[in-house]
Amino acid sequence: MRSLRLLPAILLLSIAAACGSDDPKDPEFTGDPLATITSDSGALRLEIRTSPQPPTKGPVDVEVAVVDSESGAPVDDLSIEVSPWMGSMGHGSNTVDADALGEGRYLATGALFSMPGPWELRFAISGAIDDTAETPSFEVLP
Amino acid sequence: MTPWPPTLGIRAAALLLLAAVPAVARASPCCAGATVVPGRLMVHEDALVGLDLRVGRELGAFDDGAGFNTASGDELAFEQGIFAALRVAEKGQVAARAPLVQTYRDLRGTREFGGGLGDLQIEARWDFVDAGQYLDLPGIAIVASAALPTGRAPEAVERPLGTDATGTGAFQGMGGVALEHVAGDWLVSATGTVGARAARTVFGEEVPASVIWSAGATVGLMLPRDAVVALAASLTDEPAAERRWLRLGISAGMPLSDEWRLQGGLFGDPPLGGFGRNQPASAGLSFVLIRSWS
């Protein structure tokens, strides 16, 4: 009986202890891109990779490689906001600012796919050029 | 139409009400779906208050091709609701429920627990014919409900794993018809509803309204001491989102006294390909405690 009385306290302590991190691995972006898209103005081409890829439910790191559509030259000096979007459910998720890595590459850390299913990634681009872009829908695994 | 003997009619009504454990509920706080207040007044009751507890575990999800994929992480959804129902006319009742929602997630080595107030629910019901009133005519009622976006929408989360999302972010409305027939110690009920997730603006973009259909059936059996056990199934479909899912439930209830009753149940979405589409699947249990006044 005594152990039963202690059960709620043990459960609460377990949950409290569980709220933390086991030092997730550094993101890896290898292989074919998840999507290659042209920005809405047509000026930029974006290669999108995620870590993990294919993306699974939870926070995902997104690498965006940006080149000029005509010349193919990497484009730096951009500010890029990345927003996951789940059109089928009519909701989005967090918006993440991407850090510039140089040579036209940008990294958004912790874009959240809060549930499995069909999602898109949307990009708001400013700086050297103001533009927007979005990927086709892709499946986020549970 | 042949009226039931009064005692049998009341007994049948009790059977119905105890069988109405909320086995059919939303899959997760941010998923639009049927809203059900788990308290319903019996014909002789004027008011009730209650407490409900639910816990569910995500099993995986159905993809666009209706295939089932097992969850790679761990997610538990907790919900506690307080609710009340009030008779406003001989045949009419209204109810409201305020839920507290919490989510625990363990995804790729990161664990998080969060929650808050969920979406408030209001509900109305009008019984044109009470269940058990006639031998050869089922109970017929219309129901209507609404969910108000008082919870935190998925795009408004602040925590890394989004466990602070507690609502859909959208108004939802639903209306439908409920039929209930009692034969001896057996109950059969069927409910059909059509609802909508209202249009809203997110990140400056208009998200259009979306229609949600739902059909449910319950079979209940009365046991000794006025206890009851029931099996329930519901199928929900949201065509615009190409989303559908089947939920099954088994529930039991028993009166503790003339004023108090206790209900409990297990629910689950069959984790098998073909039983859902574009929808997470979960399983869990619920308890409901009700105090009523006559």
Least confident of A10-19, B57-66, B253-262: A10-19
pLDDT at A134: 96
Residue of B58, B72, B269 to mutate, interface with A, max A Cβ within 10 Å:
B72
Q: Which amino acid is at B123?
A: E
The answer to whether the peptide bond before residue A55 is cis (omega within 30 degrees of 0) is: no
Mean pLDDT of B84-105: 96
* Domain-wise residue ranges, chain A: 23-140
> What is d(CA B36, CA B97) in angstroms, rounded to the nearest whole number?
9
Has residue B128 got a pLDDT over 80? yes
User: Which residue among B58, B112, B202 places its CB closest to the CB of A91?
Assistant: B202
Residue B130 DSSP class? -
Closest residue on chain A to B111 (Cα): A19
CA-based nearest distance A72→chain B, Å: 31
Q: Please tell me which residue, B280 or A21, carries the higher pLDDT value.
A: B280
Has residue B279 got a pLDDT over 60? yes
Nearest CA to B85 among B114, B125, B55, B56?
B125
pLDDT at B185: 86
B109–A92: do the CB atoms touch at under 8 Å? Answer: no
pLDDT at A22: 53
Has residue A83 got a pLDDT over 70? yes
Query: Which pLDDT band, with edges at 50, 70 and 90, does B187 fall under?
Result: confident
A91–B30: do the CB atoms touch at under 8 Å? Answer: yes
The domain total for chain B is 1
A58–B161: do the CB atoms touch at under 8 Å? Answer: yes
Closest residue on chain A to B207 (Cα): A90
Mean pLDDT of B199-218: 90
**Helix or strand run (H / E) with residue B10:** helix B6-19
> What is d(CA B263, CA B53) in angstroms, rounded to the nearest whole number?
10
B55: domain CATH number is 2.40.160.40
pLDDT at B268: 94
Has residue A9 got a pLDDT over 60? no
Q: Is residue B234 one of the residues assigned to a domain?
A: yes
> What is d(CA B110, CA B116) in angstroms, rounded to the nearest whole number?
20
Q: Please tell me which residue, B131 or B271, carries the higher pLDDT value.
A: B271
Has residue B31 got a pLDDT over 50? yes
pLDDT at A119: 95
Give yes or no for a contact between B108 and B116, defined as CB atoms under 8 angstroms apart: no
Least confident of A24-28, B154-158, B242-246: A24-28
Chain B interface includes A26 (CB < 8 A): no
> Mean pLDDT for chain B?
88
pLDDT at A14: 46
Span A98-131, pLDDT tens digits: 999 999 999 999 999 999 999 999 999 999 899 9
pLDDT at B211: 95
How far from chain centre, in Å, is Cα B282? 14
Query: Which pLDDT band, with edges at 50, 70 and 90, does B294 fall under?
Result: very high
Has residue B143 got a pLDDT over 80? yes
Share of chain B above pLDDT 70, in %: 88
pLDDT at B34: 56
Query: Which pLDDT band, with edges at 50, 70 and 90, does B11 fall under?
Result: low
Chain B interface includes A69 (CB < 8 A): no
Six token digits for residue B8 = 């049998």
A94–B63: do the CB atoms touch at under 8 Å? Answer: no
pLDDT at A15: 47
Give yes or no for a contact between B151 and B23, defined as CB atoms under 8 angstroms apart: no
B280–A94: do the CB atoms touch at under 8 Å? Answer: no
User: Which residue among A90, A112, A118 places its CB closest to the CB of B278?
Assistant: A118
pTM summary value: 0.85
Left if phi > 0, otherwise alpha if psi is -120 to 50, otherwise beta: which for B109? left
**Residue B194: burial class (beta carbons within 10 Å; 0-12, 13-18, 19+):** middle
Has residue A18 got a pLDDT over 50? no
Give yes or no for a contact between B265 and B253, defined as CB atoms under 8 angstroms apart: no
Q: Is residue B46 one of the residues assigned to a domain?
A: yes
Residue A141 pairs with which residues in a beta bridge?
Answer: A56
Q: Which residues of chain A are within 8 Å of residue B66 when distances are taken between CB atoms?
A: none
Has residue A20 got a pLDDT over 60? no
Q: Is residue B1 one of the residues assigned to a domain?
A: no
Closest residue on chain B to A84 (Cα): B155
Least confident of B26-40, B182-196, B247-261, B275-289: B26-40
pLDDT at B225: 83
Q: Which amino acid is at A107?
A: L
Side-chain half-sphere of B212: how many Cα atoms within 13 Å? 27
Give yes or no for a contact between B118 and B28, defined as CB atoms under 8 angstroms apart: no
Q: Please tell me which residue, B133 or A19, carries the higher pLDDT value.
A: B133
Residue listed under structure tokens 């108000």: B148
**Residue B257: burial class (beta carbons within 10 Å; 0-12, 13-18, 19+):** exposed
Span B225-260, pLDDT tens digits: 888 899 999 999 999 988 999 999 999 988 999 899
Contacts of B139 (CB under 8 A, 6+ apart): B16, B127, B129, B130, B131, B132, B133, B178, B179, B180, B181, B182
Mean pLDDT of B281-293: 94
Is the CATH number of domain A23-140 2.60.40.2470? Answer: no
Q: Which amino acid is at A43?
A: A
Domain of residue B279 covers: 6-293
User: Which residue among B61, B64, B203 places its CB closest to the CB of A83?
Assistant: B203
